[in-house]
């Protein structure tokens, strides 16, 4: 017999209330109930990072996070980065400039981890960034351009010269 | 959707104990990075789950009234690594759990889950063994504390009494264990991220005041046997010994008396034995250096 739970949370800054099936993952909730399709269904076992979202500022693979746990949490997906006039954010722009995207499937997950990294306002080395981004798989780019995009945005935001 | 029969969410430790007694067949879920994946694979499909993830009282690192470092069982790996108490007194634990999976896994994975699943390859387990951690279990009859070495019974099985409604509530590091002690952890794996240890080795030392001899050395492994284990004959070689290259070599070789790795698809027994010696030496070398010794 199906079991439901009423949850209250904020999704991309908006307070919402939803009756969730307790069997649902957070990926299911975000995609099916809120049509936030930047949250990709990849491996669904927490290995590829395509479903990554921010929960209270930390990156989580939403495929292995129960929708019922979202109660009381602040959830952000890639859609939250859109400006009021539909503009894209600096990190998305950098992904375009650096050709850090090919098929695009891994991109929302990578960008949300990048947001977590950028919000620490710390200057990381290339090796540190590599480790911080290691929870994502990309089969197109070979990662170098993704690292370039994140490094460039980090330096721009911190006012550090970009080579 | 997960193939789960029912979800019971505990709001407090007492509530979790009650739920456990009411639903003896149910599986406890903390962060879920093992349980949900196994459910997806069909291994735990159709089960009832008792979620303890929402019990915030079981999160965080503190120093208790007996000066133990107390790590709430639901503290995530990333929070352990960033915690100032961990960084000050047992930095090696923060470094070890910073090698688990990848960043998102370290945000969801908990130290309680990492130990309760009874897996030998757990990155926290060898360090917790090497620091003689105490596992705190809370059940209907109150709190039970036992040394982590006794907590592990066999591969995949730990001493938690479901019939008493027990859950693991904290891991403690006694002052006698962490005081003036410095350690180092090496994880040997095929990849730098998102991989399981082929072998894990954690060493720590306390040096004599003049930093010429090892006052106390402890070493433990993951994947050197069915459960994480200490290497006591190696410890005996180092305890009280004068610091030097020759002693470190003898220490490394002595681990072969203690460990019992197996052939698996990840690596052969012979290979694991080979790297076990080298990892012991390197870990001891680094631990001595961190303790201020010269080699």
Phi-psi region of B216 (alpha: psi -120 to 50; beta: other; left: phi over 0): beta
Q: How many helices (H) and strands (E) in chain B? A: 13, 14
Judgement on whether residues B74 and B166 belong to the same structural domain of the protein: yes
Report yes or no on B295 lying in a domain. Answer: no
The per-residue pLDDT for A163 is: 76
For chain B, how many structural domains are there in total? 3
Cβ contacts below 8 Å, chain A against chain B, sum to 84
Asked if B38 has any chain A CB less than 8 Å from its own CB, the reply is no
Asked if B109 has any chain A CB less than 8 Å from its own CB, the reply is no
- Report how far residue B121's alpha carbon sits from residue B221's, in angstroms, rounded to the nearest whole number: 9
Q: Please, what's the b/e burial string for B81-95 (b: 16 or more CB within 10 A of its CB; e: otherwise)?
A: bebebbeebbbbbbb
Is the predicted ipTM greater than 0.95, yes or no? yes
Single residue among B145, B176, B207 that ends a domain in this structure: B176
Report yes or no on B61 lying in a domain. Answer: yes
The per-residue pLDDT for B8 is: 98
Across the interface, do B9 and A134 touch by the CB < 8 Å criterion?
no
- Report how far residue A52's alpha carbon sits from residue A137's, in angstroms, rounded to the nearest whole number: 11
Q: Over the stretch B106-141, which tens digit does the pLDDT of each residue have?
A: 999 999 999 999 999 999 999 999 999 999 999 999
For B102, name the nearest residue in chain A, comparing CA atoms only: A135
Residue B66: which domain range?
Answer: 56-176
Phi-psi region of A51 (alpha: psi -120 to 50; beta: other; left: phi over 0): alpha
Report yes or no on B127 lying in a domain. Answer: yes
Supply B132's token pair.
Answer: 């003689």
Asked if B33 has any chain A CB less than 8 Å from its own CB, the reply is yes
Strand pairing report for B47-51 and B27-29:
parallel
Cβ-based contacts of A75 with chain B (< 8 Å): none
Judgement on whether residues B61 and B157 belong to the same structural domain of the protein: yes
Shortest alpha-carbon distance between residue A3 and chain B (Å) = 7
Asked if B45 has any chain A CB less than 8 Å from its own CB, the reply is no
Judgement on whether residues B188 and B228 belong to the same structural domain of the protein: yes
Confidence tier at A128 by pLDDT (50, 70, 90): very high
The per-residue pLDDT for A149 is: 98
- Report how far residue B126's alpha carbon sits from residue B225's, in angstroms, rounded to the nearest whole number: 12
Judgement on whether residues B19 and B38 belong to the same structural domain of the protein: yes
Single residue among B147, B176, B205 that ends a domain in this structure: B176
CATH code of the domain covering residue B198: 3.30.390.50
- Report how far residue A160's alpha carbon sits from residue A28's, in angstroms, rounded to the nearest whole number: 40
Q: Which domains does chain A have, with CATH numbers?
A: 4-77 (3.10.20.30), 90-158 (1.10.150.120)
Across the interface, do A64 and B193 touch by the CB < 8 Å criterion?
no
User: Helix A144-158 crosses helix A90-97 at what angle (to 10 degrees)?
Assistant: 140
Shortest alpha-carbon distance between residue A160 and chain B (Å) = 25
Asked if A43 has any chain B CB less than 8 Å from its own CB, the reply is no
- Report how far residue B167's alpha carbon sits from residue B224's, in angstroms, rounded to the nearest whole number: 27
- Res A144 pLDDT > 80: yes
Judgement on whether residues B141 and B127 belong to the same structural domain of the protein: yes
User: Which residue in B104, B106, B195 has the most chain A C-beta atoms within 10 A of its own C-beta, making it the best mutation to test that interface?
Assistant: B104
Q: Give, in order, the Cα–Cα distances in Å from A56 to each of A71, A76, B58, B81, B206.
A: 12, 8, 18, 18, 40
Judgement on whether residues B247 and B198 belong to the same structural domain of the protein: yes
Residue of B40, B101, B193 with shortest CB distance to A44:
B40
Judgement on whether residues B171 and B141 belong to the same structural domain of the protein: yes
Asked if B41 has any chain A CB less than 8 Å from its own CB, the reply is yes
- Res A1 pLDDT > 90: no
Asked if A122 has any chain B CB less than 8 Å from its own CB, the reply is no
- Report how far residue B30's alpha carbon sits from residue B157's, in angstroms, rounded to the nearest whole number: 17
- Select from B260, B262, B240 the least CA-distant residue to B251: B240
Q: Which helix H or strand E contains A126, and what residues bound it?
A: helix A126-132
Report yes or no on B80 lying in a domain. Answer: yes
Shortest alpha-carbon distance between residue A14 and chain B (Å) = 22
Report yes or no on B271 lying in a domain. Answer: yes
Asked if A61 has any chain B CB less than 8 Å from its own CB, the reply is yes
Judgement on whether residues B195 and B171 belong to the same structural domain of the protein: no
Judgement on whether residues B40 and B68 belong to the same structural domain of the protein: no
The per-residue pLDDT for B53 is: 98
Q: Which regions in chain B score pLDDT beneath 50?
A: none
Q: Over the stretch B159-171, which tens digit does the pLDDT of each residue have?
A: 999 999 999 999 9
Across the interface, do B105 and A58 touch by the CB < 8 Å criterion?
no
Q: What is the largest CA-CA distance in chain A?
A: 60
Judgement on whether residues B149 and B218 belong to the same structural domain of the protein: no
Residue of B36, B192, B193 with shortest CB distance to A64:
B36
Supply B88's token pair.
Answer: 């000050």
- Res A10 pLDDT > 80: yes
Residues forming a β-bridge with B200: B187, B222
Report yes or no on B26 lying in a domain. Answer: yes
**Mean per-residue pLDDT, A102-108:** 98
Across the interface, do A25 and B1 touch by the CB < 8 Å criterion?
yes
Residue of A3, A46, A131 with shortest CB distance to B37:
A46
Across the interface, do A65 and B104 touch by the CB < 8 Å criterion?
no
Helices (H), chain B: 13-22, 35-40, 77-82, 84-89, 91-97, 103-108, 111-116, 123-130, 148-151, 175-178, 232-238, 245-254, 269-290
The per-residue pLDDT for A162 is: 87
Single residue among B131, B155, B176 that ends a domain in this structure: B176
For B39, name the nearest residue in chain A, comparing CA atoms only: A45
Asked if B78 has any chain A CB less than 8 Å from its own CB, the reply is yes
Number of residues that make up chain A: 163
CATH code of the domain covering residue B46: 3.30.43.10
Q: Which pTM value belongs to this model?
A: 0.97
């Amino acid at each position: 017999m199906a079991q439901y739970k009423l949850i209250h949370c904020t999704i991309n800054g908006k307070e919402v209330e939803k009756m969730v099936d307790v069997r649902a993952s957070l990926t299911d909730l975000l995609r099916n109930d809120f049509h936030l399709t930047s949250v990709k269904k990849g491996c669904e076992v927490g290995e590829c990072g395509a479903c990554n979202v921010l929960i209270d500022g930390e990156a989580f693979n939403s495929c292995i996070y129960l929708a019922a746990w979202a109660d009381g949490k602040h959830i952000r997906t890639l859609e939250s980065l859109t400006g009021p006039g539909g503009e894209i954010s600096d990190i998305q722009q950098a992904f375009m400039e650096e050709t850090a995207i090919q098929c695009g499937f891994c991109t929302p997950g990578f960008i949300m981890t990048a947001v977590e990294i950028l919000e620490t306002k710390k200057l990381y080395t290339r090796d540190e960034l590599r480790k911080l981004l290691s929870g994502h798989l990309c089969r197109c780019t070979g990662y170098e351009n993704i690292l370039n995009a994140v490094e460039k945005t980090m330096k721009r935001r911190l006012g550090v010269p970009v080579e | 959707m997960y193939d789960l029969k029912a979800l019971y969410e505990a709001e407090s430790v007492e509530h979790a104990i009650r739920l456990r007694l009411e639903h003896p067949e149910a599986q406890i879920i903390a962060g879920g990075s093992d349980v949900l994946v196994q459910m997806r694979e069909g291994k735990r499909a159709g089960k009832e789950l008792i979620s303890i993830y929402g019990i915030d009282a079981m999160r965080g690192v503190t120093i208790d009234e007996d000066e133990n470092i107390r790590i709430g069982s639901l503290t995530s790996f990333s929070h352990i690594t960033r915690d100032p108490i961990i960084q000050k007194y047992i930095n090696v634990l923060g470094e070890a759990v910073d090698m688990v999976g990848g960043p998102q896994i370290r945000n969801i994975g908990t130290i309680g889950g990492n130990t309760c699943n009874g897996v030998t390859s757990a990155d926290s387990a060898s360090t917790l063994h090497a620091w003689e951690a105490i596992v705190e279990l809370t059940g209907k009859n109150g709190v039970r504390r036992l040394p982590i070495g006794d907590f592990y019974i066999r591969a995949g099985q730990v001493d938690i009494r479901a019939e008493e409604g027990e859950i693991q509530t904290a891991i403690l590091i006694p002052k006698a264990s962490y005081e003036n002690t410095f350690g180092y952890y090496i994880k040997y794996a095929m990849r730098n991220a998102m991989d399981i240890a082929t072998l894990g080795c954690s060493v720590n030392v306390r040096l004599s005041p003049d930093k010429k001899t090892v006052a106390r050395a402890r070493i433990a492994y993951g994947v050197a046997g069915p459960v994480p284990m200490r290497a006591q004959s190696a410890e005996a070689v180092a305890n009280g010994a004068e610091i030097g290259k020759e002693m470190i070599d003898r220490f490394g070789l002595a681990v072969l008396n203690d460990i019992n790795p197996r052939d698996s698809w990840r690596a052969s027994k012979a290979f694991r034995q080979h790297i076990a010696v080298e990892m012991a030496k390197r870990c001891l070398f680094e631990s001595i250096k961190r303790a201020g010794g010269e080699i």
